[in-house]
Amino acid sequence: MGDIAVTTTPKPAMRPARPEFSSGPCAKRPGWTPENLRAAVLGRSHRSKLGKARLKEAIDRTRQVLEVPDDYLIGIVPGSDTGAVEMAMWSMLGPRPVQLLAFESFGKDWVTDVTKQLKLPAEVLEAPYGQLPDLSKVRPDADLVFTWNGTTSGVRVPNADFISADREGVVICDATSAAFAQDLDWAKLDVVTFSWQKALGGEAAHGILILGPRAVARLESYAPAWPLPKLFRMTKGGKLNAEIFEGSTINTPSMLAVEDAVDALKWAASIGGLPEMKRRADANLAALAAWVQRTPWAAFLAEDPATISNTSVCLKIIDPRVSGLSDAAQQDFIKKLAGALEKEAVAYDIAGYRDAPAGLRIWCGATVEVSDVEALTPWLDWAFETAVADLQAA
């Protein structure tokens, strides 16, 4: 990255109090300090009475804040959201036709796993970044794997109306940047996954796997033809291993990360639970949308306003001085723009995902304050003009 050219655009007077706008791991909850973790069960077995109680508390608080139905099971699993999705796919897919929605990077990863690793003849419903696939093609007789909110595209499904209430297949929903920010239609979802590092601002490496009654029935009635690694096994003797969903994890979890998740869930409950978390994310998106509306050089990557994410908000640059450049040159421009903001300690890690079109990705989940989003926007203008001046001077 070259030196940033001098520009006549003045630096804004106000700065965000917290510059953490990364889309994962995301900003910690307001008021967080390491002291909040002093009750962590450290130096003890996670299978001790105390350790299992702490894991169970994380599960119970998740149910409370996320408003998970009583007949759905919640487990803490290894490998972050990816591990949770993989467990579901490797354990459940096979007996029925499979459909996958692919409209961003992680959805495309699930396509690769199903078609190349499990070698199942799946139907892939694709769409380019910024769009959703044709949801009318989703079949009730097929198993479905999809991301509710495309973390790398800033596109979300507006609702679950495309899923039949009388479906025969199992629906596996990767909800990692939708959980705690958007309305999940539990009656339409049989498997829901997410990670603490997204909307809770928690630590990475742990996934949450939520199973509805139809998912449990699939696990107990179907044995995959392929071998399952130990980390993926959810049944014993053909029956669900219920202990996994009561705090007995398959492998050793970080009790420090568990304590951090408990702290975030306590905070979420204290501010008003799921309704307030959704309101905060919506307010952050609204602040960014107001800026986009008055800004000639930026636009949402999502083409349909009903599909714009309120968490991983992705922006594209429409100024012809930049949009007319080659893909590589556009990516270099974004690096300079994001680098200028990081150098000023105004915004960290807001360049778009590496596989996505050149642009910005700004986390607007509930752990971010709307005042910080509002303070960020004039800095975005400053960084853009600074990077353009650098481009023209080259």
Encode pLDDT of 82-127 as tens digits: 999 999 999 999 999 999 999 999 999 999 999 999 999 999 999 9
β-strands 155-156, 123-126 pairing: unpaired
CA-to-CA distance for 98 and 195, rounded, in angstroms?
24
Q: What tens digit of pLDDT does each residue of 257-268 get?
A: 999 999 999 999
CB 255 within 8 A of CB 46: yes
How many Cα atoms sit within 13 Å of 164 on the Cβ side? 14
CA-to-CA distance for 362 and 377, rounded, in angstroms?
11
Average pLDDT over residues 360-389: 98
pLDDT at 394: 75
As given in the structure block, the two tokens for residue 57 are: 């508390």
**Helix axes of 80-92 and 213-221: crossing angle, nearest 10 degrees:** 50
- Which residue is associated with the tokens 């690793």? 117
pTM of this structure: 0.96
CA-to-CA distance for 271 and 287, rounded, in angstroms?
20
| Amino acid present at 224 | P
Q: Say if residue 9 is exposed, middle or buried (CB neighbours under 10 Å; 0-12, 13-18, 19+).
A: middle
CB 239 within 8 A of CB 31: no
pLDDT at 1: 36
Q: What tens digit of pLDDT does each residue of 156-177 get?
A: 999 999 999 999 999 999 999 9
The per-residue pLDDT of the chain, averaged, comes to 96
Q: For residue 19, give the nearest of 388, 387, 379 by alpha carbon.
A: 379
Q: 76 - beta bridge partners?
A: 208
CB 90 within 8 A of CB 224: yes
Q: What tens digit of pLDDT does each residue of 342-359 get?
A: 999 999 999 999 889 999
Average pLDDT over residues 196-218: 97
Torsion on CA atoms 224, 230, 232, 238, rounded to nearest 10: 50
Torsion on CA atoms 316, 322, 326, 330, rounded to nearest 10: -60
CB 192 within 8 A of CB 17: no
As given in the structure block, the two tokens for residue 388 are: 């353009």
CB 194 within 8 A of CB 208: yes
Collapsed DSSP state (helix, strand, coil) of residue 9: coil
CB 367 within 8 A of CB 179: no
pLDDT at 355: 87
For the domain covering 34-268, report its CATH number: 3.40.640.10
Q: For residue 314, give the nearest of 285, 277, 343, 278 by alpha carbon.
A: 285
As given in the structure block, the two tokens for residue 270 are: 């204290």
| Amino acid present at 12 | P
CA-to-CA distance for 108 and 237, rounded, in angstroms?
33
Q: 147 - beta bridge partners?
A: 174
**Helix axes of 49-66 and 255-271: crossing angle, nearest 10 degrees:** 30
pLDDT at 8: 63
State which fold the 273-393 domain adopts: Aspartate Aminotransferase, domain 1 (3.90.1150)
Q: What tens digit of pLDDT does each residue of 10-47 get?
A: 999 999 999 999 999 999 999 999 999 999 999 999 99
CB 170 within 8 A of CB 190: yes
End-to-end alpha carbon distance in the chain:
12
pLDDT at 2: 40
> CA angle, corner 374, sides to 371 and 376, nearest 5?
110
Residue 3: pLDDT over 70: no
pLDDT at 6: 46
Domain ranges of the chain: 34-268, 273-393
